Structure 1
Amino acid sequence: MDDLESEVKALIVTSLNLEDLGPEDIDSEEPLFVEGLGLDSIDALELGVALRKKYGLKIESVGEDIKAHFATVRSLARFIRSQQAAQQA
């Protein structure tokens, strides 16, 4: 697990107030929604806001691409890296 994945896990726990869960309890490949971590659409909105604030992400609209980016911690970390690379280009 890399540092960005650890940051994303901590952000999920703090921004969603997951009191019974620590960042170390989240597997990077575990689905975040429905099965797996069990987040819902409200959690997705809150997480999106937190990611925008922390990483300056631009999330245009909710579509299949965004759903894929938000599928797991690892896919979120890849999305953040791609956005950061695009901003630096």
Structure 2
Amino acid sequence: MEQLHTELKKLIIDALYLEDISVDDIEADAPLFGEGLGLDSIDALELGLAIKKKYNVVIDADDTQTRDHFASVANLAKYISASKVS
């Protein structure tokens, strides 16, 4: 799971062009939105597209749990891992 966390951190940095942030700056359990990394809804859309492209996993914007999936790198990793197995 640690490898997936690192991959997701790199994906976030690359997909969202966060040039001033390194993988080490992003904590797996830290919030991605609001007071955490400070992402917004547009970033969520971009990240969702990047996840779909890299992992072939779709995160449905209308799903009531989507906000939870995007809460942190750790949550995204759990969702992607569970989706790839199913």
The two structures share one fold, judged by TM-score above 0.5: yes
Does residue 61 in structure 1 map to residue 61 in structure 2? yes
1:15 aligned residue: 15
1:39 aligned residue: 39
CA distance in 2, matches of 1:44, 1:34: 12
Partner SS for 2:45 = helix
Give the deviation of 1:23 after TM superposition.
1.1
Give the deviation of 1:62 after TM superposition.
3.0
CA distance in 1, matches of 2:51, 2:18: 16
Does residue 83 in structure 1 map to residue 83 in structure 2? yes
Partner SS for 2:35 = coil
CA distance in 1, matches of 2:55, 2:5: 13
Give the deviation of 1:34 after TM superposition.
1.0
Q: Tell me the matched-pair count.
A: 86
Give the deviation of 1:64 after TM superposition.
2.9
CA distance in 2, matches of 1:27, 1:62: 27
Give the deviation of 1:17 after TM superposition.
0.2
Q: Between the two proteins, what is the percent identity of the paired residues? A: 48
Deviations 1:63-86 (A, max 9, x none): 430110110000000000010011
Unaligned regions of 5+ residues in structure 1, if any?
A: none
